[in-house]
């Protein structure tokens, strides 16, 4: 469990609502710790309310809820056998309890520290999403993360196209000037797409214009690297 807090939180970053985040969170915690169940309880003046519960074998959270009752009331973590429950404190006040049980391995006191660390970070995210929903505003963080992930995924095929164009330029005969021009335009298009992706995930800061050599490249840049009519015609005919 040494590195699982960061891994779990990263796997939940796409959630856009508090309910979606809570449901995904307990599932990921159970999977990462090899636990049969994971339960997340909110505490308020000694009262306890279920935030989310996950168990692949049972939809009933009552037994897990009862196991968390001593921790909810006392604010003291519990680690017994394959069960571990950690109180989650925000500004020294217990706001929730995160518990896992029926693990593949026995729990130890260090597991409580990891659960508490993870639970505190998750609580802040969950509460943030809940407040956004109550105010009827969108969460910009989730949109930014999704956009960054999309940009990363799109850069992979773009890199492949760039590599193929470079390889073709190397193996083309020296007298294939027209083909080299077309390949150069393809590479310019790839560069433009990469710059567009970067500009969308860096707070809209304008990026410096790349400098290309050759009259054909300069003409393509002036036209936003659009393919020329000759290029299109050579491909379609």
What single DSSP character describes residue 86?
E
The CB-side HSE value for 43 (13 A sphere, CA atoms) comes to: 23
- Give the span between the Cα atoms of 87 and 75, in whole angstroms: 6
- Give the span between the Cα atoms of 47 and 73, in whole angstroms: 8
* 2-19 as b/e: b if 16+ CB within 10 A: eebbeebeebbbebeebe
Helix/strand/coil for 97: strand
Please check whether residue 33 is in contact with residue 130, taking contact to mean a CB–CB distance below 8 angstroms: no
Can you name the residues that pair with 93 across neighbouring β-strands?
A: 90
**DSSP letter string, 162-229:** HHHHHHHHHHS-TT-HHHHHHHHHHHHHHHHHHHHHHHHTTTTPPPPPP---SHHHHHHHHTTTPPPH
Most distant CA atoms of the chain, gap in Å: 83
CATH number of the 4-134 domain = 3.30.450.40
Q: 0.75 exceeded by the pTM? A: no
Can you name the residues that pair with 79 across neighbouring β-strands?
A: 84
What is the residue extent of each domain of the chain? Answer: 4-134, 140-236
- Digits of tens for pLDDT over the chain (237 positions)? 556 678 888 888 888 889 999 999 999 999 888 899 999 999 876 678 999 999 988 888 998 888 888 888 888 888 887 889 999 988 888 889 999 998 877 777 788 888 888 999 999 999 989 888 888 776 555 556 666 667 777 778 888 888 888 888 888 888 888 888 888 888 888 888 877 777 766 644 444 444 433 434 333 333 333 334 443 344 333
């Amino acid at each position: 469990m040494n590195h699982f807090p960061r891994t779990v939180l990263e796997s939940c970053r796409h959630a856009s609502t508090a309910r979606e985040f809570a449901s995904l969170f307990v599932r990921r915690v159970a999977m990462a710790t090899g636990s049969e169940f994971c339960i997340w309880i909110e505490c308020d003046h000694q009262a306890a309310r279920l935030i989310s519960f996950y168990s692949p074998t049972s939809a009933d959270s009552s037994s897990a809820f009862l196991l968390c009752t001593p921790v909810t009331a006392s604010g003291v973590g519990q680690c017994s056998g394959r069960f571990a429950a950690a109180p989650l404190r925000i500004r020294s006040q217990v706001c929730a309890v995160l518990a896992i049980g029926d693990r593949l391995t026995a729990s130890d006191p260090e597991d409580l520290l990891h659960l508490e660390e993870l639970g505190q970070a998750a609580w802040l995210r969950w509460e943030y999403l809940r407040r956004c929903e109550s105010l009827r505003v969108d969460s910009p963080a989730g949109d930014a993360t999704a956009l960054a992930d999309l940009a990363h995924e799109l850069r992979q095929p773009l890199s492949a196209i760039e590599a193929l164009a470079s390889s073709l330029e190397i193996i083309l005969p020296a007298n294939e000037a027209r083909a080299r021009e077309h390949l150069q335009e393809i590479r310019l298009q790839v560069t433009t797409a990469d710059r567009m992706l970067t500009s969308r995930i860096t707070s809209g800061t304008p990026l410096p214009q790349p400098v290309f050599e050759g009259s054909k490249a300069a003409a393509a840049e002036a036209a936003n690297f659009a393919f020329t009519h000759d290029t299109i015609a050579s491909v379609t005919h």
